[in-house]
Amino acid sequence: MRRKTIGLDDALYDYVVATTLRDDDILARLREETAKLEWGRMQIAPEQGQFMAMLTRLVGARKAIEVGVFTGYSGLSVARALPDDGKLIACDVSEEWTAIARRYWKEAGVDGKIDLHLALATETLDTLIAEGGAGTYDIAFIDADKSNYDAYYERCLTLLRPGGLIMIDNVLWGGSVIDDSDQSEDTVAIRALNAKVGKDDRVSCVILPVGDGLTLARKN
Ligand code: CA
């Protein structure tokens, strides 16, 4: 098929960000602090945070899930877009990274909307299901260890209500998904989930060339 999607070179990307990014001091400082970390590149792009906040509002989300908090940028973006009585269940295993997240969430005044679970996300999600949470969540963001992506996807799909939205990050994986010589565990897992979601009749889906590739899967 002939490509119709425009490519963004640096100048065009800068134009997009300069024209539409609604930045503020807290977001900017969190980005700066995270960029200094060894794994700072794992932080989502600022326009992706803004896009996720818009999606949160578009689905009218009150209950959200995040698998993979890192230093909290996406969680901050989503939590701000939740109503005052909204709740974000945030899953991560790193005390060190989420300590940064908690500091910024508190400063932004959204800490009361976020329940951080420092445990394996599969266990946290299974607990939510066991407690009767299936079908009650509005939106979920999956951005953690890639080898468990399928496990996270299945659990989030169970937890979502019909019409709820799953966002899956890094689905193009720097282009590695089409590099057959790359058979690393992470790449194989992402490739497998992409193929599965693409044909999954429980959802409608798109892959957007946002950040490192973002899948949107809406539960039927
Ligand atoms: Ca990511």
Give 167's pLDDT tier (boundaries 50, 70, 90): very high
Q: What is the pLDDT of residue 94?
A: 97
Structural domain of 165 = 10-219
Cα(158) to ligand 1 centroid in Å equals: 22
**What pLDDT does 1 receive?**
80
Q: How far is the CA of 69 from the centre of ligand 1 (A)?
A: 10
Q: Within a domain: residue 54?
A: yes
Q: How far is the CA of 169 from the centre of ligand 1 (A)?
A: 5
DSSP state of 208: E
Sheet with strand 203-208: strands edge to edge: 114-118, 87-92, 63-67, 137-142, 160-169, 214-219, 203-208
* Ligand 1 geometric centre to CA of 31 (Å): 14
Q: How many CB atoms are closer than 10 A to CB 183? A: 9
Phi, psi of 146 (to 5 degrees): -70, -30
Query: What are the structure tokens assigned to 115, written together?
Result: 């329940």
84-136 pLDDT tens trace: 999 999 999 999 999 999 999 999 999 999 999 999 999 999 999 999 999 99
Neighbours of ion ligand 1 (CB under 5 A): 143, 169-170
23 token code pair: 């930045």
Number of domains in the chain: 1
Q: Is residue 5 part of a domain?
A: no
Q: What is the pLDDT of residues 191-213, one digit of tens each?
A: 999 999 999 999 999 999 999 99
Number of Cβ within 10 Å of residue 134's Cβ equals 15
| Averaged pLDDT score across all residues of the chain | 97
Assess whether pLDDT exceeds 90 at residue 29: yes
53 CA to middle of ligand 1, Å? Answer: 16
Per the domain annotation, does 3 fall within a domain?
no
> Binning pLDDT at 50, 70 and 90, where does residue 2 land?
confident
CA of 143 to the centre of ligand 1 (A): 5
Going from the Cα of 173 to the center of ligand 1, the distance in angstroms, rounded, reads 9
Q: Distance of CA 40 to CAs 11, 30, 72, Å?
A: 23, 11, 12
Q: How far is the CA of 108 from the centre of ligand 1 (A)?
A: 22
CA distances from 50 to 45, 56, 96, 153, 211 (A): 9, 10, 25, 22, 12
pLDDT higher for 79 or 1? 79
Q: How far is the CA of 98 from the centre of ligand 1 (A)?
A: 15
CATH number at residue 85: 3.40.50.150
- Three-state secondary structure of 16-82: HHHHHCCCCHHHHHHHHHHHCCCCHHHCCCHHHHHHHHHHHHHCCCCEEEEECCCCCHHHHHHHHHC
In a domain, 179, yes or no: yes
